[in-house]
Structure 1
Amino acid sequence: MRAVVIGGGIVGLTSGLALRRAGIDVMICERAPEIRAAGAGLGLWANALAVFDELGIGEQVRANGKPSEMYFHDPAGRLLETPEFGVEDHQYLLVHRAKLNDLLADAVGRENIRLATAFQTYEEHHDQVTVRLSDGSAENADLLVGADGTYSAVRAQLVPGAEAQEHPGHQVWRAVIPAPGIAVSEDRLILGTHGCRGGYVRTHDGFVYWLVNQFRSPALTGSRKQQALHRAQYLEQGAPNPVLAELIAATPEEQILHNQIMLVPPLPHWVSGRVALAGDAAHAMSPHITAGATLGIEDAVLLSYLLTTAADVPAALAAYEASQIPQYARVSRLSAAVEHSRTPQEFAHHYAAFSHWMITQEPRHHGPNRVTA
Structure 2
Amino acid sequence: MRAVVAGGGIVGLTSAIALRRQGIDAVVCEQAPEIRAVGAGLGLWANALAVFDELGIGAELRAIGRPAEMRFRGPAGGLLETPGFGEEDHRYLLVHRARLNELLAEEVGKENIRLNARVAGFDESDSAVVARLEDGSSLEADVLVGADGAYSRVRSGLLPGIDAVAHEGHYAWRSVVEPPEGVTIREGVVVVGERRARGGYVPTADGTVYWLVNQFDSGELEGTRKEQAALRAALLDTTGWNPALLDLIASTPEDEVLCNQIMLVPPLPRWASGRVVLAGDSAHALSPHITAGASLGVEDALLLARLLASAGDPAAALAAYQDDRIPHYARVTELSKRVEDSATPEEFALNYVTFTRWMLHR
Query: TM (normalized to structure 2)?
Result: 0.99
Where 1:244 maps in the other structure, the secondary structure is helix
Distance 1:20 1:240 in 2: 51
Determine the structure 1 residue equivalent to 2:115: 115
Q: Deviations over 1:224-282 (max 9, x none)?
A: 00101111111011132311111111111011000000000100000000000000000
Determine the structure 2 residue equivalent to 1:230: 231
Gapped regions of structure 1 (runs ≥ 5): 362-373
Determine the structure 2 residue equivalent to 1:165: 165
Answer yes or no: is 1:49 the counterpart of 2:49. Answer: yes
Determine the structure 1 residue equivalent to 2:287: 286
1:218-367 correspondence runs (5 A): 218-361=219-362
Determine the structure 2 residue equivalent to 1:84: 84
Distance 2:114 2:286 in 1: 28
Q: Deviations over 1:295-344 (max 9, x none)?
A: 00000000000011112100000000000000000000000000000000
Determine the structure 2 residue equivalent to 1:71: 71
Paired residues, number: 361
Letter in 1 for 2:313: D
Moved over 3 A (4+): none
Letter in 2 for 1:227: Q
Shift of 1:185: 3.0
Letter in 1 for 2:248: L
Distance 2:133 2:101 in 1: 22
Q: Which moved more, 1:321-330 or 1:238-247?
A: 238-247
Determine the structure 2 residue equivalent to 1:212: 213
Q: Deviations over 1:140-194 (max 9, x none)?
A: 1100000000100000110111100000000000000012221223210000010
Alpha carbons 2:24, 2:309 under 8 Å: kept: no
Determine the structure 2 residue equivalent to 1:2: 2
Letter in 2 for 1:295: L
Distance 1:162 1:236 in 2: 40
Alpha carbons 1:75, 1:239 under 8 Å: kept: no
Where 2:172 maps in the other structure, the secondary structure is strand
Distance 1:104 1:335 in 2: 28
Alpha carbons 1:44, 1:94 under 8 Å: kept: yes
Alpha carbons 1:69, 1:91 under 8 Å: kept: yes
Determine the structure 2 residue equivalent to 1:184: 185
Distance 1:171 1:138 in 2: 37
Letter in 1 for 2:314: V
Distance 1:354 1:209 in 2: 23
Q: Deviations over 1:102-134 (max 9, x none)?
A: 000000111100001111211101011011112
Distance 1:278 1:313 in 2: 15
Where 2:95 maps in the other structure, the secondary structure is strand
Identity of paired residues, percent?
A: 62
Q: Which moved more, 1:269-278 or 1:120-129?
A: 120-129
Q: What is the CA RMSD across the aligned residues, in angstroms?
A: 0.7
Distance 1:239 1:161 in 2: 48
Query: TM (normalized to structure 1)?
Result: 0.96
Distance 2:45 2:155 in 1: 27
Distance 2:172 2:146 in 1: 26
Determine the structure 2 residue equivalent to 1:366: none
Distance 1:58 1:82 in 2: 29
Answer yes or no: is 1:19 the counterpart of 2:22. Answer: no
Letter in 2 for 1:96: H
1:122-161 correspondence runs (5 A): 122-161=122-161
Alpha carbons 1:173, 1:257 under 8 Å: kept: yes
